[in-house]
Amino acid sequence: MEEAFRSILAVYGYTAENLPVGAVVAIANLTECWRSLGKGYLSGVPILQNGKKGQTKQISPQKDSFGWFESGRDASEMAAVNQIDPVPVKRTARTLELGRGTGCLQDVRLNSEASGGNGEWLLEAS
């Protein structure tokens, strides 16, 4: 694992050995959706565009090293990110099932078919 990854993971108490995979590790507010236009000719870093507002912005070299910003891919901007204890996740093509948690998190299922398959996810909780 490269040093850049080790340093950032260490800030949050993770290493390559204890990094949770197949789990939700944080809760956040989705604040903006962006589409990658690819790397800028002069800057060499990815440029993102917001379709509704038409805004563009460049990604920092550090963020570029952690993402996959190939042209046409989507990126999510989040705020108020709160780390939580890992919750196991099972994913199929159209559903995302979160394992039973404690407290306010019970059985949760995100279902794209229930919302008409239009790219939106319907939250089903029990």
- For residue 113, tell me if it sits in a domain: yes
Find the domain containing 38 and state its range: 24-85
Q: Copy the structure tokens of residue 98.
A: 């979160």
Indicate if 106 and 120 belong to the same structural domain.
yes
With a CB cutoff of 8 Å and minimum separation 6, the contacts of 87 are 23, 24, 98, 99, 101, 105
Chunked into runs of 10 residues, the chain (126 residues) has average pLDDT values of 82 86 83 89 90 86 86 88 83 56 42 48 45
Q: How many CB atoms lie within 10 A of CB 16?
A: 9
Indicate if 74 and 28 belong to the same structural domain.
yes
Indicate if 70 and 113 belong to the same structural domain.
no
User: What's the pTM value of the predicted model, to 2 decimals?
Assistant: 0.59
Give the total number of structural domains in the chain: 2
